[in-house]
Structure 1
């Protein structure tokens, strides 16, 4: 009986020791996790000085760090949610938990930084829309994701600008201002064409009138020469313009 009691006491002591050891390990892991979180926070602040790096308070449901990505001009381009893990074993349940935290935080991207990775996993990879990375690759991944967010926002801004420009152009082309300007231009062209036609008609009348006057002058000169030839004979000097063309078919009179 005494041996049974002794064995029970030894077993109870072993269980208590294991429980204390588990609590110590949990406390140690928690401390190590908090240290990793602080290290990542400082690294993010140093690497991305334009961004807001805000730790999520201990005890508050959620991940560890929220990074608000900003351009140098201060324009917000999105949010990255960071979760740090420093444990001995990987847990697939972390993925779904961070997805829930991401949804609650309204973050664009979410990352798990873990000391241990899934089997056959190297450096970083995306698992079910959650990025998972080892500690050394965390900042490099953050830089890539941050650049992606900024580029997406800039692309959207360009597209929005194009759509706004298209709307402005369309409204202008279909509006009264454009119609009035086109009407003013056409009125000017029509007036210029009307003046040109009027000038052409006037010049044609002037040309026709002058042509008749020139014809009368030539006829009068020719008539005057004929009169003089009738008086003095053929001794008058020849005026080539008033002579018939010589085609070589006629014969001279003796």
Structure 2
């Protein structure tokens, strides 16, 4: 009986031990599964953290790039504004320089006019020196020559230039000013002289001289006017109407009148030549356009004849145009 009890208890203990072993194995399996899930969860957390970090980094990079781009754009705009301000200031400086140079040139010209007027007045005290006001017929000084006996002998129109380069347009303007002032002689004093002129010359009816030759040239021209006036005075009262007309025709005023008429006719002739060239060019353009329209019309008429055949009615005018067009085509 004791053995049976012991065997029964031993069996119960073995059964209990087996149950406990099963529970332990199940618990170990659960623990292993839990650890596996824990590792998977940790891996997911780490992956998520890494993804979040990457996204944050990408966002930061995008923000940095955007901020850098905005900063560069803003800097470019500021640089462009500064460059525009600098360019505007440079334009203002150039404009101020130009105005200063113009003012300086104008001031130098006025000083030269005053010096010229003072020099002529001191050298020829008997003559009447009239400074030409701004906006009148032109020139700088009008010298009315007075002879030894107090008789008027003519007038010299002075023009002074202080520039580096010579301009041929000065001569035409001075001749026009001479006619307006009714001066006998036009004299231009300039530091810049035409090509081939060293000190003094007569160019297109205008005397041109360097400033260092101004007074000697003025003495010579003034003496010639006095001698001419004395010659006319000696003949005064002896001349008939024909002689007076001859004197007028051979005098400077008639020459000035004719020169003015010739200059205007030359300008009109130049304008007419330019207008003729423009008209010829326009006619040639219109002729080419009309020829192109004729050729296109004749070609279209020929195409329609080839399609429709004899059904297409003949148009005499187009046949003539086709013949003329074919005759005008070069071989």
Q: d(CA) in 2 for partners of 1:156 and 1:102?
A: 22
Q: d(CA) in 2 for partners of 1:130 and 1:33?
A: 20
Are 1:7 and 2:83 counterparts? yes
Question: What is the number of residues matched between the two proteins?
Answer: 164
Output one character per residue of 1:200-239: Cα deviation in whole Å (capped at 9) or x when no partner. Answer: xxxxxxxxxxxxxxxxxxxxxxxxxxxxxxxxxxxxxxxx
Are 1:104 and 2:180 counterparts? yes
1:154 maps to 230
2:121 maps to 45
Q: Which has the larger radius of gyration?
A: 2
Structure with the larger RCO, 1 or 2 (CA within 8 Å, 6+ apart): 1
Q: d(CA) in 1 for partners of 2:141 and 2:206?
A: 15
Q: How does 1:45-64 map to 2 (within 5 A)?
A: 45-64=121-140
1:117 maps to 193
1:89 maps to 165
2:95 maps to 19
Output one character per residue of 1:33-53: Cα deviation in whole Å (capped at 9) or x when no partner. Answer: 111111111111111111101
1:33 maps to 109
Q: d(CA) in 1 for partners of 2:233 and 2:206?
A: 26
Cα pair 2:137 2:181 within 8 Å, conserved = no
Q: d(CA) in 2 for partners of 1:104 and 1:7?
A: 52
TM-score, normalization: structure 2? 0.47
Q: CA RMSD in A?
A: 1.7
TM-score, normalization: structure 1? 0.61
Q: d(CA) in 2 for partners of 1:17 and 1:106?
A: 44
Q: How does 1:183-194 map to 2 (within 5 A)?
A: none
More divergent stretch after superposition (32-41 vs 86-95): 86-95
Give the structure with the larger helix fraction: 2
Cα pair 2:117 2:131 within 8 Å, conserved = yes
Output one character per residue of 1:7-42: Cα deviation in whole Å (capped at 9) or x when no partner. Answer: 222222211111110110111111111111111111
Where structure 1 has 5 or more consecutive residues not aligned to the other structure, the ranges are: 165-254
